[in-house]
Amino acid sequence: MSKLIFADIPRVLRSKIFYIVLFITAFMAAASVLVTFADTDNKQMVFLVSSNNLAMFISILMPVFSGGLSIMLISGEFSSGIIRNKFIMGHRRPAVLLSWTVIYSLTTVLTYIVYVGSYLITLKAVGTDLSEFDTGVIAVNFLLIFLFLMKFQMFSLLMVCIYPDAKMSVITYLLNNLTMVPLLLFSMNSADNKAVKFLSRIFIYGYIGDGYSLITKPDKPWFSAVCILTLSVIYMVLAGLYFNKKDLK
């Protein structure tokens, strides 16, 4: 499997879409701070407002970037015949799927680091001091967001393994993301609804009872983490089952 990983990494690094995704995420993170900073003289409010925007952006748009990247690049392997060459060289399907999981998990990690890094650097540049906030709560929320993105990365692999072409995979993936919008609205207005609360743990980035700011203490973050990780494993198991049956002729 290591040979597959080291062979595919250069292909990802040569992809223009990879760098476009990194640029967009860095730009959006910095812009969320700068736009807020332009509207207020209170530097602490810059973090309070922009962290809400950050959470909303990651919940709705970030999965499109991270999962969309893997869908486009993996689908290219099917259309170009690269996947058949891997099998001719003796690589088995589980090893191929696992190598995809490792590579595109790393791209998601890098995308997340670029986004959060750009956000924090821009906050520092405008003079915002985070020392008065609960860093433990902020760290937990960042961790839940990360797990949320990894769950979507696993879902993107499932879409590639189910559908025969990139277009159908992307459409289905995007439609799944759109289903989060009404849930997001319901979770804001129905914080005490048990069904909404449970679904929010999985399909947003972990349940937060009062808004989606990074400084808001999440409700039972460990349970949200378990729910997200469980669904991620389910996606991977299903991806393996579909990939083993996938016709590559």
Span 137-146, pLDDT tens digits = 888 888 888 8
Which is nearest to 211 in space by CA: 113, 112, 135, 141? Answer: 141
Instruction: Say what angle helices 166-178 and 180-189 make with each other, to 10 degrees.
Output: 10
Residue type, 68: G
| Domain residue extents for the chain | 2-245
User: Among all chains, which residue has been given the structure tokens 């088995």?
Assistant: 92
Ordered mean pLDDT values, 10 residues apiece, the chain (249 residues): 79 86 88 83 77 70 75 79 80 88 89 90 85 82 85 86 74 70 64 70 60 72 86 91 78
CB 25, CB 119: distance < 8 Å: no
User: Among all chains, which residue has been given the structure tokens 């991977």?
Assistant: 236
Show the DSSP H helices in the chain as ranges: 2-13, 16-39, 43-60, 62-80, 82-88, 93-125, 135-162, 166-178, 180-189, 194-203, 221-245
Convert the pLDDT of each residue in 209-243 to its tens digit. 455 667 777 778 888 888 888 989 999 999 999 88
- Within 10 Å of residue 167's Cβ, how many Cβ atoms? 11
